[in-house]
């Protein structure tokens, strides 16, 4: 994503008018605050993307002079993603917490339809592979006992070198 498209997304984010439809003022304030965070982090990411790291070769050693700019770019991207996640969570809460009122009857028809992804199915019992059943694992404390004479003979053989 280049900086021009990031600026376009930022402009669309500012013109987003859904928080004004929220009946609860606390949810509305949360959504507006998260949208402001997104705009801030978009701007920060845009600025960080223009600063480039320089790698210099001095005396056979590579020296990175802009490592802080790369780190700040990664941090700005993380901050932006966290702000987006928080905005989606707040949107979910705001859209499922209240019912819309049409005339005198309350109709439960949210603006956004949320569908949760079904969890991945996992087996209840882990099946072992046949080759794993045949191999035998020994504990470190159950090593074969080596006679002291045999252990000393190994050291004597090393001394002769």
* pLDDT for residue 160: 53
Closest CA to 73 of 113, 44, 32: 44
Q: Which domain holds residue 80?
A: 21-51+66-97
Q: Higher pLDDT residue, 52 or 15?
A: 52
Whether the CB-CB separation of 73 and 45 falls below 8 Å is answered with yes
Residue 92 is assigned to a structural domain of this protein: yes
Residue 47 is assigned to a structural domain of this protein: yes
Residue 84 is assigned to a structural domain of this protein: yes
Q: Residue 45's domain is classified under what CATH number?
A: 1.10.287
* pLDDT for residue 83: 92
Q: How far apart are CA 94 and CA 82, in angstroms?
A: 18
**pLDDT at 3 > cutoff 60:** no
Q: Higher pLDDT residue, 38 or 3?
A: 38
pLDDT tens per residue, range 36-92: 999 999 988 888 777 765 656 666 666 666 667 777 888 888 999 999 999 888 888
Specify the number of domains making up the chain.
1
* pLDDT for residue 14: 53
pLDDT tens per residue, range 87-141: 888 888 777 776 555 444 555 555 556 677 777 887 777 776 666 556 565 565 6
């Amino acid at each position: 994503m280049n900086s021009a498209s990031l600026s376009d997304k930022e402009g669309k984010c500012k013109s987003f008018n859904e928080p004004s439809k929220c009946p609860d003022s606390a949810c509305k304030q949360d959504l507006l605050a998260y949208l402001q965070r997104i705009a801030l982090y978009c701007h920060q990411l845009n600025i960080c993307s223009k600063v480039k790291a320089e790698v210099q070769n001095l005396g056979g050693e590579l020296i990175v002079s802009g490592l802080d700019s790369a780190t700040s770019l990664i941090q700005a991207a993380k901050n932006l993603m966290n702000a987006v996640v928080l905005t989606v969570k707040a949107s979910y809460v705001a859209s499922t917490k209240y019912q819309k009122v049409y005339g005198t009857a309350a109709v439960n028809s949210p603006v956004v339809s949320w569908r949760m992804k079904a969890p991945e199915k996992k087996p209840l019992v882990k099946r072992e592979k046949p080759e794993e059943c045949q191999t035998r694992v020994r504990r470190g404390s159950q090593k074969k006992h080596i006679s002291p004479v045999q252990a000393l003979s190994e050291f004597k053989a090393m001394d002769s070198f």
